[in-house]
Amino acid sequence: MSPSNSFNHLTAKERDSISFPARHVLNKGLLIREVLDFGCGFGKDVEVLKEKGIDIVGYDRHYFPSYPQKQFDTIICFYVLNVLMQEEQTRVLMEISQLLKPTGKAYFAVRRDITFEGFRTHKIHQKPTYQCNVILPFFSIFRNENCEIYEYRPYNQKNIDPKADSCPFCNPSPDRTLLAESATAFSMLDKFPVSKGQALIIPKRHVDNYFDLSFREQSACIFMLNYVKEILQKKYEPDGFNIGINIGKSASQTVDHVHIHLIPRYVGDVDNPEGGVRGVIPK
């Protein structure tokens, strides 16, 4: 059994000056309006950028643990993903997608000089810390031998596949409410909900049959399903949930792109809830 990644915060460095990625996005004029530094470590970038007139706050689970309670126009996340395991990376991507305003942008900096991946003993703290290389499916705005910076825009704010205009999930409308996004999947509120807060979890790759998804894609969808459930539970306080996937026309699939329905349920929303999903076939 591999060790837990409970000491990843020990990789944060105390610096005397602004980091290279922060200086780069600052000089390019990319820090627009309200800014969040997600995973800010000891907060040096926040301190310097504030001095330069940037409206910025920092969040770090260990050093600045007050979680943001609003959305931001710009989010920066520098050298965080490299010290997280894959499921932790996915959680950060989903959280940032939720904290970003619909028309905002996020910038991720990842290291490109890592030669050893996995756990190692930290020289100073003598604790097991993790590191890995990270490649994101976002637009790269800078790369050298040490660092790469990606620009992220919400999935429904750009034309993903011009050849798939007929698919509402390949090119979701900008006015749809995006709940969360990861490298592989995204979630948004259902356009025609049968209950308050009904959500869809959708893989980005255009596939019509759930069973034709790769294990990685299926896992990404289930991981997001759990995360979106947290969002809906907090916002709508339902009493239960139904989870459903329609596969094929005989199973009532109307959009030829895999999507998982997460349906909040409430006491009294139907006269007799017995039978649950078995009720899709009357009697």
pLDDT tens-digit map of 105-118: 999 999 999 999 88
CATH class name, domain 8-153? alpha beta
Cα-Cα-Cα-Cα dihedral sign, residues 241, 186, 153, 59: positive
Phi, psi of 72 (to 5 degrees): -125, 155
Query: Is 62 considered catalytic here?
Result: no
* Closest-CA residue to 204 (of 179, 190, 221): 221
Return d(Cα 148, Cα 140) in angstroms, integer. Answer: 7
**pTM to 2 decimal places:** 0.92
User: Domain segments of the chain: what residues?
Assistant: 8-153, 161-280
Please list the residues that pair with 140 across neighbouring strands.
Answer: 150
Choose the CATH number for 161-280 among 3.30.428.10, 1.20.120.1200, 3.40.1170.20, 3.30.450.20: 3.30.428.10
**Of 9, 206, 257, 259, which one is the catalytic site residue?**
259
Matching fold, domains 8-153 and 161-280: no
| Range list of β-strands (E), the chain | 35-38, 56-59, 72-78, 100-111, 118-121, 128-131, 139-143, 147-152, 178-181, 185-189, 199-203, 240-245, 260-265
Spans of the chain below 70 pLDDT: 1-3, 10, 159-165, 283
Q: What is the pLDDT of residue 70?
A: 96
* Closest-CA residue to 9 (of 57, 76, 61): 61
Q: What is the pLDDT of residue 132?
A: 93
Q: Which own/partner pairs from 212-219 qualify as long-range (CB within 8 Å, at least 24 positions apart)?
A: 213/258, 216/184, 217/184, 217/185
